[in-house]
Amino acid sequence: MKIAIASDHAGYEEKEQLKPVLDELGIQYEDLGTFSREAVDYPDYARKVADQVAGHRVEQGLLVCGSGTGMAIAANKVPGVRAAVAWNEDIARLAREHNDANVLTLAARVTPFPELAKIVRAWFATKFDGGRHARRVEKISEIEQDELAHHAMR
């Protein structure tokens, strides 16, 4: 599996600490930045990862910022992306199993690193269940397509 990862300045250290976890799991990754603790705008990095996921250049994405929320909001603006903030292992599993989420966002400022590592392990160990959940995920795609068509008519 190949993924794209990125962070803003608030998540930079945690992103760097998660790389050995990804290596341990055998997950290849492309690091799209940031590459220091210097302040940056999180939407720029969320978009880089989301574009890679939506363009099928990678299978999934991993984003780290202070709360996880800003990255998720920005990434979810890209059609085809289903970004989920996970603050524990159960939420990570449910996001994958039920929602077929394809981008994990993490909260560096409020989640201790050992928990972040557990969340990442749970996320990548979990597959989409399909079944009744597939119908619901398809409805999300329909909403997205309807919105794209609506905006194209403006």
Q: How many whole angstroms separate alpha carbon 132 and alpha carbon 129?
A: 8
The residue type of 12 is Y
The single residue of 98, 133, 150, 151 carrying the catalytic annotation is 98
- Catalogue the long-range contacts made by 51-55 (C-beta closer than 8 Å, 24 or more residues apart): 51/78, 52/4, 53/4, 53/78, 53/80, 53/81, 53/102, 53/103, 54/78, 54/79, 54/80, 54/81
Determine whether 56 is an active site residue: no
The single residue of 9, 56, 65, 151 carrying the catalytic annotation is 65
Determine whether 98 is an active site residue: yes
Q: What is the DSSP letter of 100?
A: -
Which are the catalytic amino acids?
A: 65, 98
